[in-house]
Amino acid sequence: MDNLKPAVFLNRDATIIDTVGLAAGTDQIRLFSDTIPALQILSRNYDLFVLAHESGISDNRVSCHQVAGVNLAIDDLLRRKSVRIKKWYVCPHSGNHSCRCMTPNSTLMQEAAARYGIDLSQSFMIGNHPDDVRCGESIGVFGLYLLSGGGARHLTDLPSDRLVFHSLLDAAHWIGRHPKPAEQLEASVRRASAVVKQGGLVAFPTETVYGLGADAFNPQAVARIYEAKGRPLHNPLIVHISDIEQLESLVDDIPLTARSLIDRFWPGPLTLVFRKKNCVPDIVTAGHPTVAVRMPIHPLAAKLIRLSETPIAAPSANIFGRTSATSASHVLEQLHNACDVLIDGGACRIGLESTVVSVAGPKLVLLRPGSLSVEELETAAGTDIFTGAPATDPDKMQSPGMLTSHYQTVTPLYITSDAHFFSDRPDVGVLLFENTHRAFAGPVRTLSPSGDLKEAAVNLYTAMRGLDALDLCAIAAELLPERGLGLAINDRLRKASVKSKILHPTSCAAITRGYEPL
């Protein structure tokens, strides 16, 4: 038993190769840009196994010989980079949950364990479909879920307590830091809760973005949040709770319309603004008579709040005005060692800040758009929801996200009606919604190759940060369709842009680093 080794099992398609669906020939092999470095990191301490789920075999669209050829070609590419795959497994993957990789006992992984002496309890499964995670966990393997290759579109089928990652490289780094993941996550949350009780700062994941939190009833601790972020004191914070009893400790009254929204959307990505009790420190609410409250659904956030035995005031874990953090590495990039404990819970599933609605007055008012549509909110509340104007007066700022300028990259970002205006500019990065046949001289980030708004939301801040790190002259972004999540994404892009106007072709040539053409 002492000689057993840990392993990492990887789904082939959309995990190590950028292919979704049929891969019948070597001409269809496209490694992700981070595949090689990720596998090099993993291979230092783990045996690697790849599972190719090839349903094309079952319906005769591809032969076993063709699949073997693709696997052999990938294996050759990896070996040249000093990455050795212990075994390539192929499952015809009929889709009826009776195939060898999908049965409750996941016989392919068990076969690998028996043949190669693998300790499944110390091993990991990485894939971009909920079934990849389930089949690993059915035999004691810790499952990690990737958002690549359309993974974001299947998130609704993945239990909320499973960890997700933007890329294979992110997952590889996380595994390196968490060889005993369940134990380490538990210890991290307990350590963070102790820090909160002692008046410290913790960074933690939620389903929306990472938060930088402190005891909401400790003014000195909350003051450290403002200091760490460089956040102006006129910008109020959101208070995060784990149960209704904590809400009652913060607010004077819970209107009936608010109860309807709570019943439908809590826990979840909805922040409600109430009239506050006097016991809520003014520094939390920027002196306003209202307090913004949310109950996150993320299990690590919920457990942290519960163990801390107090509501936690927490804005996004980033420098004020910059792009929000949707992974632990994003937190470290901007805040470094500003927090006492960082709970690394992978990537955030939604990737956009919460929807904010005021229930403090006679009308319900949308203060910040998010992943919940106005139509959903109105249906649940049984009344109209009005849209609040962006705050230019600090005295009227009832919640975060109301400023006209926010979520900004260091590189100037411009909204454009057609990013192809910049096609000949290698020094301009382009941010697109979906795949395009247009060619660009500069770097391009596509939020969702298939045009899926949920996937676009998950990838927004990561894409913005990726372009921001390339020392470009500018970033040109096209707006998304003005519907559903597109409204919230466009809100973030407009607030991140240098100007609220649309950038026209006559201005494009004038863009140079540090110069605003409009």
Residue of 200 and 132 predicted with greater confidence: 200
Architecture of domain 185-396: Alpha-Beta Complex (3.90)
Three-state DSSP string of 332-396 = HHHHCCCCCEECCCCECCCCCCCEEEECCCCCEEEEECCCCCHHHHHHHHCCCEEECCCCCCHHH
Average pLDDT over residues 143-171: 92
Looking at residue 252, the DSSP 8-state letter turns out to be S
CA atoms in the 13 A half-sphere facing the CB of 278: 0
Looking at residue 400, what is its pLDDT? 66
Going by pLDDT thresholds of 50, 70 and 90, the confidence category of residue 70 is confident
Region 113-140 average pLDDT: 93
Is the pLDDT assigned to residue 514 strictly greater than 50? no
Residue 1: is its pLDDT beyond 90? no
- What does the pLDDT read at residue 65? 75
Q: Which CATH class is domain 413-508?
A: alpha beta
Band of residue 461 on the pLDDT scale cut at 50, 70, 90: very high
For domain 7-179, say whether CATH 3.40.1790.10 is its number.
no
346 in Cβ contact with 357 (< 8 Å): no
Picking from 473, 472, 475, 466, the residue whose alpha carbon sits closest to that of residue 497 is 475
Helices (DSSP H) in 80-150: which residue ranges?
107-116, 130-137
List of residues 6+ apart from 184 with CB closer than 8 A:
178
Quote the pLDDT of residue 498: 82
Q: What is the pLDDT of residue 518?
A: 34
Does the N-terminal peptide bond of residue 267 adopt cis geometry, omega within 30 degrees of 0?
yes
Given a cut of 80, whether residue 395 has pLDDT beyond it is no
% the chain with pLDDT above 70 = 87
Round to whole Å and give the CA distance between 425 and 430: 10
Strand 444-446 with 428-432, pairing: parallel
Q: Which residues make up the CATH 3.40.50.11030 domain(s) of the chain?
A: 413-508
- Strands 202-204, 341-342: pairing kind: parallel
Give the DSSP H/E element, type plus range, for residue 45: none
Give me the pLDDT at residue 112, please: 93
Query: What's the whole-number mean pLDDT along residues 22-39?
Result: 83
Between 321 and 296, residue with greater pLDDT: 296
Per-residue model confidence (pLDDT) at position 516: 41
- Residues of CATH 3.90.870.10 domain(s) within the chain? 185-396
pLDDT reading at 281 higher than 50? yes
160-204 confidence digits (pLDDT tens)? 999 999 999 999 999 999 999 999 999 999 999 999 999 999 999
Q: What is the pLDDT of residue 47?
A: 97
Residue 502 near residue 518 (C-beta atoms within 8 A) = no
Give the Å distances, CA to CA, from 464 to 326, 439, 468, 495: 12, 19, 6, 13
CA dist list (Å): 125 to 46, 74, 128, 376? 12, 19, 10, 36
Give the per-residue pLDDT at 427: 95
Decide if pLDDT at 372 tops 70.
Answer: yes
Q: Where in the chain is the domain with CATH 3.40.50.1000?
A: 7-179
